[in-house]
Structure formats: C-alpha cells, structure tokens
Amino acid sequence: PVLVAGRTISRATLHNSEEIERKDIRVGDYVYIEKGGDVIPKVVKVIIERRPANSIPWFVPTICPVCETPVVKVSGEVAIRCPNIKGCLEQQIRRLIHFVGKGSMDIENLGDKVVEKLVEKGFVSRPSDFYRLTTNELSQLEGFKEKSITNLLTSLEKSKIVPLDRFIMALGIAHVGKGTAEDLARKTENIEKLSALTEEQLMDIEGIGGKVAKSIVSYFADPVHREEIARLLEYGVAPFVEDTLAIQGHAFSGKSFILTGALEHFSRNEAANLIKSRGGKVSEAVSKKTDFLLVGEDPGSKYEKAKSLGVKILTEDEFIAALESND
C-alpha cells in the first residue's frame, strides 16, 4: 500500500487488456499511480529501471485455460470470454456458485468448495439438483457428518422462500445486476410475467436499455432455461415480491442512484437499503435519468460516465450528511 492524496491505496485500476498492452505492464513491475480526478487510482506508467531482467511481456490468452476453447472478444467490448457457455466445466461451477451465493438464493452451509465437491461427485450439474440432494449423497462428501448434512438440508429448505429479485439474480441472466433485478421484480411481480415480456416492453421499464432487454428475452427464449425454472418451482422454490415501507418526504424519495467504488462506513447492500428505505431507487447503469452517483474508493467507469452526463456526484460523507439531515 502507498499514500496518495492523503489516502492509503492498495489497489489501482489497469482498466482493460488493451491498456495493459499499450503501457507494456508486466508481472513484477513497479509502477507509478495517481488518483484521476482525485477519485480513481490508476496506473500511469511502468518504472522501467526497476523491471526484473527476466521479465516477459504479458499477452492476452487465446484459449480458455479450463476447456481450451478459443476465446472471443465481443464486439464493442474489451473483455475476452470463453464462448463454451454450456460445455466449460469452470463456467458451470461458477454459475452454480453464483446461484447459491449471497444476493442470489443465499443458501447457508453451501460454500464454493462444497459446490465443487458436489459437481465432482456428479451429484449436481444444474441449480435444481441442489434441491434433490439426499442424505446418502451428502454423506459421501469428505468432512460431512450428520450435523453438517442436517444443516445443509435445512438451509436448502429455508432458501425456497426467496424474494423475486434475488431469484432473478440467481438465474445469472447476462447484464442483469441487483438493481435491474429489483426493477424487474417490482414491475412484473412473478417470473411467469417476466419471461413473457418482449424487448419493447422491457425497455419501457426505467433503467433497462436495448442490450439488457435483448439479453433477458434471449435467456427466456432458451427452452433449457425455461425447463430449469419449471423444475425449481416444482421442487418448491417460491419467489415472492417484498413490500417496502419508505420514509415519507425524504430528499432521496423518487431519486435514482448508482453506487460505485468501495464505501468505508457501509457495505454496498447497506447503502442501497438506506436509499430504498427513503424512497430512492438503486440502478445498475448510469444514464441521463440518474440523479446521484454515490462514489467510494476505487470507482469504475461509471464515475467518468456520470461526470460526462452531468450527474450529481455524492461522496460518502455527503451521503451520510444527506441521510442525517432528512431523518
């Protein structure tokens, strides 16, 4: 960690693979960093004279390290991806971990390692398989005794009653984050209505653009996804819409927020809940309709976009002051 502009910085952004190549940044390099716009710590350049003699240039991987499928670069994006969505074992495991994780189904006693063991044993290959697990299967996992088995089965049963927005998140629809899932849950009220919406109808929902709408329609058009949702519902998963009681007359009421960067006094979820409890809305993507951007340490590209659109930027201290002045 280093001290920059009076703050201790332990991470700095490299932006993307193209920027890494342009600046020729290598493993083991010492670099200069600065806080762009007094907010975003970024790597400026390499200190060449401190570069190790055996240093080799970094290169963008050309194949997936797991399934060895050639990677692709999506038009308009800088990220590279493995296109073997259904055949790549690591992607399968990551989707299952996402499904059970916090912000999704939030299944206790089911960590990453347990998911990996269940896949390795052949007991789980899709989300609905979690709800078919038996005592006999779980007893075959290393370290799983009677109490562990009981706790996991209890957690699975408890997770079946789940807020609709978290169920939508658990599905892993591309480009659908927490804020978008909440918007969809609020507008549709059940998964059947959501699955039937057209791109045009989805784009009528504030905060949802063409890219997200297309992704949602594409997801529900896949019979594999529809069949899996049907299985989850058949096994007793019951999504519901949460009622929220907002503080009346707060300055945040009716305002749209975007959160970016690490906050010092709140987790991202805690800040979002404070906003929503005061009648505000938390979205995923910055747009002309965004009222406030709450900025923490190491914010991403949302900060630059918000500035370019003239969105009001709130520091964490300003956010706290606004909370207290209206409560």
pLDDT 10s digits, 113-162: 999 999 999 999 999 999 999 999 999 999 899 999 999 999 999 999 99
- Return the SS3 of 238: strand
pLDDT digit string, tens, across residues 156-214: 999 999 999 999 999 999 999 988 998 899 899 899 999 999 999 999 987 788 999 99
In CATH terms, the fold of domain 163-240 is DNA polymerase; domain 1 (1.10.150)
Q: What's the token pair of residue 112?
A: 């990453």
Q: What is the mean pLDDT of residues 85-102?
A: 96
Contacts of 277 (CB under 8 A, 6+ apart): 244, 245, 246, 247
Question: The CATH number of 2-57 is which of 3.90.1310.10, 1.10.10.10, 2.40.50.140, 3.90.1640.10?
Answer: 2.40.50.140
Question: Which CATH superfamily includes the segment(s) 256-324?
Answer: BRCT domain (3.40.50.10190)
Tokens, residue 159: 């997770």
Q: What is the pLDDT of residue 287?
A: 87
Average pLDDT over residues 272-276: 88
Res 243: pLDDT: 66
Q: Where in the chain is the domain with CATH 1.10.150.20?
A: 89-161, 163-240
With beta carbons less than 8 A apart as the criterion, state whether 65 and 76 touch.
no
**What Å distances lie between residue 161 and 64, 234, 299, CA to CA?**
37, 13, 34
Q: 89-161 domain in CATH 1.10.150.20?
A: yes
Q: Is 46 helix (H, G, I), strand (E, B) or coil?
A: strand
Residue 240: band (very low, low, confident or very high) from pLDDT cuts 50, 70, 90: very high
Looking at residue 285, what is its pLDDT?
83
Instruction: Please name the helix (run of DSSP H) or strand (run of DSSP E) that holds residue 162, with its range, or none.
Output: strand 161-163
Listed in order, the ranges of the chain carrying CATH 3.40.50.10190 are 256-324
pLDDT of amino acid 65: 95
